[in-house]
Amino acid sequence: MSEDTKTIQTQEKEEMQFNGERTRDRLCFIPRTDIYETDDAIYLVVDMPGVDEKSIDITMEKNTLSVNGLVEAQSFEGYSEVYAEYETGDYQRNFSIQIPVNRDGIEATLKNGVLNIRLPKDESAKTKRIEIRTG
Amino acid sequence: MLYRRPSFSSMWNEMDRLQREINRLFDVFPSRRTLTPGGYPAMNIYSNTEGVVVTAELPGVDIKDIEIQVVGDSLSVSGKREIPTVEGASYHRQERLSGSFSRTIRLPFPVETEQVDATLQNGNLVIKLPRQAASKPKKISVRSVA
């Protein structure tokens, strides 16, 4: 694979709004993501602080992988917000996977608010070394 | 022909006043989405008379890589966020930032440094800092003089 092969294109949140209205009164952010590819798999690393394994939803439909994370608003009883630099909200992002992957082998782990997804490549998409026979 | 236009000028005055009112309204409720953090990590601060709570989002940072220091009314949070580069992998997208960070903020009052409690859960850092007893507000009772 050469460096400039882009097999995955991301969709921005604004584009997904066309599908309908959100039914939750929360902001929704596009999580920052690293995407890399090895010979046998594609890896997605998604920053989703505040999300735990129960509030996360990953679905693969056709060749679109959707990551959805719900985050409850942070509040501290008896305290009032005096200074704010960031806001919390849900996360949503779709990834268009352009190469065949083995759907049953998709694995996801969550640690310290970072989601790791491994999509193993289908046998047909794996890089094969072609032996050259001397004739 | 000469027109008297007192009604018009008062209308424009009224328009100017309305415009000022609208500007004032937008200043009072600025858009929350344009928050600009003063550094990394971005911090939110909650407070009451008993203490202050500081929160920050640090996804992917290990608890052992975070150092928190409190002196009087200043709080320092420093550490590093390491993202190992995978050998032999081709990167399609790298949006996550890595490196070291250090930030010092001034708290509204001095805190009890011995009782500071910090937790890291799902990448959310929460630091609870109780107020120093000496700096707590004192209730002053009013005597009635007969």
Nearest to A82 among B38, B46, B93 (CB): B46
The model's pTM is 0.73
Taking CB atoms and an 8 Å cutoff, what residues of chain B touch A4? none
Q: Residue A90, Cα to own-chain centre: how many angstroms?
A: 13
- Please judge whether A39 and B88 are an interchain contact, meaning their C-beta atoms are less than 8 angstroms apart: yes
Q: Residue A90 and residue A85: Cα distance in Å, rounded?
A: 17
The one-letter code for the residue type at A117 is I
Does residue A13 carry a pLDDT above 70?
Answer: no
| Residues of B in Cβ contact (< 8 Å) with A80 | 46-48
pLDDT per position in chain B (146 positions), as tens? 555 555 556 677 778 788 877 776 766 555 454 467 777 888 899 999 899 999 999 999 998 999 999 998 999 999 888 888 888 889 998 888 888 888 899 998 999 999 999 999 999 999 999 999 888 888 888 999 87
Partner-chain contact A34 B96, CB within 8 Å = yes
Helix (H) or strand (E) holding A115: strand A114-120
Asked if A78 and B48 come within 8 Å (Cβ–Cβ), the reply is yes
Element (H, E) at B16: helix B6-28
Residues listed for chain A: 135
Residue A4: pLDDT over 50: no
Q: pLDDT tens digits, residue range A77-97?
A: 899 888 888 888 889 999 999
Dig out the tokens for B9 from the structure: 């000028």
